[in-house]
């Protein structure tokens, strides 16, 4: 039987419509995209450059990555993916990591400019059209670590104490400082030109042994690091122990105030358990907060004489007291109290220890109402338990200027000032910073830029 012409026309029209719809559907108008984790600049042999190649349409058909240096071309990746049917989706993404390390060790790469070229093609559409993306990036391979020269001669440091070192680094250095065991301290250039060298204040924690290794390090933009040792002598210090009796009213006062003013804070079942949480966990959190705040410290010394001790004050604690806490004659906790408790008349004015800039002025957990002053190079002084704060964050302050009034906010049993000095988050002995001779010998003489 013959198919009528009219019917044939309908079939042809339907087929054409289907074909057109299909063409639009499978057109794939997107070309592959390439994302670079590092897209230019200095790279070291260990710098990892990650490429993310994606195609949102029908998927990737092929990916090539080539490395070029002084006329040599090396294919790093050359992949072709299986063709797909129109209703299928191919490889959507491919990530490739590159570091010069292997090529450098094989002698195939040397310092200087290099190029990475990526070519990505997507799966052809219904018309067998395929889209191609080509990108080329220039990098500078730097394999030379920065140079370091120590300028200051002697470095004496006590457990829980501070020290300064003066040194010079080559111009491509982006970061440098002193490593003390696990901790590192960042130094800063004394002048813009770098001719006068850099200064780094560093500390040996009260919790680190006098045998702790220390060295000076410098890093360039490509991540090359160098380290040198310097002359030093470290002294162990004996810290005393104290017994602190806890009374129920004291616990109640501390728990109520601190848990109300600290957000977020979850109370434990009993006041004693909540107190122990404040004395342990919150103490640690507060110190982490201070370390974080100190990262905004201005990278130069903001003062030129020794720190001032609160006038007419009596020192009620040694720098690092090991404290055993007793409740109803039972030992319930132990902590190291770092800093000084200075007692005077209640509501006494609190004088700023040295010139600087207020970097924090608010409630801070165990320290209650608290002011932190930045003295530069990561050196911060802390004034805690205040009844009143009379300065604002960002305000420049001078040695002896009133910051607020003493009180008993936070973890305090009576009206007193808690004074601490932090060096890049590590608590150090303020006695050294109060001593004009020590300050001159250990810091100012080394910072002198004349």
Q: What are the residues binding Zn ion (CB under 5 A)? A: 341, 418
DSSP SS3 for 54: strand
CB of 394 to Zn ion, least distance (A): 26
Task: Indicate the residue among 131 and 418 with the shorter CB distance to Zn ion.
Answer: 418
CB of 167 to Zn ion, least distance (A): 35
CB of 337 to Zn ion, least distance (A): 6
Give residues with Cβ within 8 angstroms of 371, minimum separation 6. Answer: 350, 358, 360, 361, 382, 383, 386, 389, 391, 403, 404
CB of 282 to Zn ion, least distance (A): 14
CB of 254 to Zn ion, least distance (A): 13
Of the candidates 266, 381, 244, the one whose C-alpha atom is nearest the C-alpha of residue 316 is 244
CB of 365 to Zn ion, least distance (A): 13
Q: Where are the alpha helices (DSSP H) in 26-129?
A: 101-105
Task: Indicate the residue among 32 and 384 with the shorter CB distance to Zn ion.
Answer: 384
CA distance 421 to 429: 7
Question: What's the N-to-C CA distance of the chain in angstroms?
Answer: 110
CB of 429 to Zn ion, least distance (A): 14
Name the residue with the smallest CB distance to Zn ion: 418
Task: Indicate the residue among 131 and 385 with the shorter CB distance to Zn ion.
Answer: 385
Task: Indicate the residue among 18 and 245 with the shorter CB distance to Zn ion.
Answer: 245
Kind of pairing between the strands at 417-423 and 426-428: antiparallel
CB of 192 to Zn ion, least distance (A): 40
CA distance 168 to 442: 18
Task: Indicate the residue among 123 and 406 with the shorter CB distance to Zn ion.
Answer: 406
Q: Is 223 exposed, middle or buried (0-12, 13-18, 19+ CB in 10 A)?
A: middle
Task: Indicate the residue among 190 and 342 with the shorter CB distance to Zn ion.
Answer: 342
Task: Indicate the residue among 94 and 418 with the shorter CB distance to Zn ion.
Answer: 418
DSSP string of 236-296, one letter each residue: --PPPEEEEEE-HHHHHHHHHHHHHHSSS----SSHHHHHHHIIIIIHHHHHHHHHHHHTT
CB of 343 to Zn ion, least distance (A): 10
Task: Indicate the residue among 135 and 207 with the shorter CB distance to Zn ion.
Answer: 207
In the β-sheet with 148-150, what is the strand arrangement from edge to edge? 148-150, 162-169, 198-203, 188-189
Task: Indicate the residue among 341 and 374 with the shorter CB distance to Zn ion.
Answer: 341
Of the candidates 238, 235, 236, 239, the one whose C-alpha atom is nearest the C-alpha of residue 155 is 235
CA distance 336 to 293: 22
Token pair for 264: 């977020």
């Amino acid at each position: 039987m013959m198919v009528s012409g009219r019917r044939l026309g309908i079939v042809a029209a339907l087929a054409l419509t289907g074909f057109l719809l299909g063409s639009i559907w499978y057109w794939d108008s997107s070309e592959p995209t390439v994302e670079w984790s590092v897209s230019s600049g200095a790279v070291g042999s260990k710098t990892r450059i990650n490429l993310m190649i994606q195609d949102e349409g029908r998927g990737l058909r092929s990916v090539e990555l080539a490395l070029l240096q002084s006329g040599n071309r090396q294919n790093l990746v050359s992949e072709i993916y299986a063709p797909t049917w129109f209703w299928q989706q191919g490889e959507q993404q491919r990530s490739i990591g590159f570091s010069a390390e292997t090529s450098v060790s094989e002698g195939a790469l040397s310092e200087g400019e290099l190029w990475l070229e990526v070519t990505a093609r997507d799966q052809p559409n219904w018309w067998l059209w395929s889209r191609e993306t080509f990108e080329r990036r220039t990098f500078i391979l730097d394999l030379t670590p920065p140079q370091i020269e120590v300028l200051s001669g002697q470095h004496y440091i006590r457990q829980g104490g501070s020290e300064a070192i003066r040194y010079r680094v080559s111009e491509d250095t982006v970061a440098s400082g002193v490593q003390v065991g696990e901790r590192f301290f960042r130094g800063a250039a004394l002048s813009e030109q770098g001719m006068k060298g850099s200064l780094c204040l560093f500390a040996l924690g009260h919790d680190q042994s006098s045998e702790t290794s220390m060295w000076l390090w410098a890093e360039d933009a490509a991540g090359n690091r160098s380290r040198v040792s310097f002359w030093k002598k470290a002294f162990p210090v004996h810290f005393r122990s104290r017994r602190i009796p806890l009374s129920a009213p004291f616990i109640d006062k501390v728990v109520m105030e601190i848990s109300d003013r600290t957000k977020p804070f979850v109370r434990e079942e009993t006041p004693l358990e909540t107190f122990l949480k404040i004395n342990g966990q919150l103490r640690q959190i507060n110190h982490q907060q201070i370390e974080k705040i100190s990262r905004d410290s201005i990278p130069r010394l903001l003062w030129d004489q020794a720190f001032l001790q609160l006038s007419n004050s009596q020192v009620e604690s040694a720098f690092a007291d090991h404290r055993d806490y007793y409740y109803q004659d039972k030992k319930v906790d132990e902590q190291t109290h770092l800093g000084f408790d200075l007692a005077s008349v209640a509501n006494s004015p609190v004088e700023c220890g040295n010139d600087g800039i207020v970097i924090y002025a608010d409630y801070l957990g165990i320290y209650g109402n608290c002011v932190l002053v930045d003295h530069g190079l990561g050196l911060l002084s802390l004034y805690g338990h205040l009844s009143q704060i009379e300065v604002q964050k960002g305000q420049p302050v001078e040695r002896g200027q009133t910051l607020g009034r003493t009180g008993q906010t936070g973890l305090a049993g009576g009206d007193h000032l808690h004074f601490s000095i932090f060096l890049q988050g590590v608590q150090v002995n303020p006695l050294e910073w109060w001593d004009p001779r020590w300050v001159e010998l250990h810091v100012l003489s080394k910072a002198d830029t004349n």
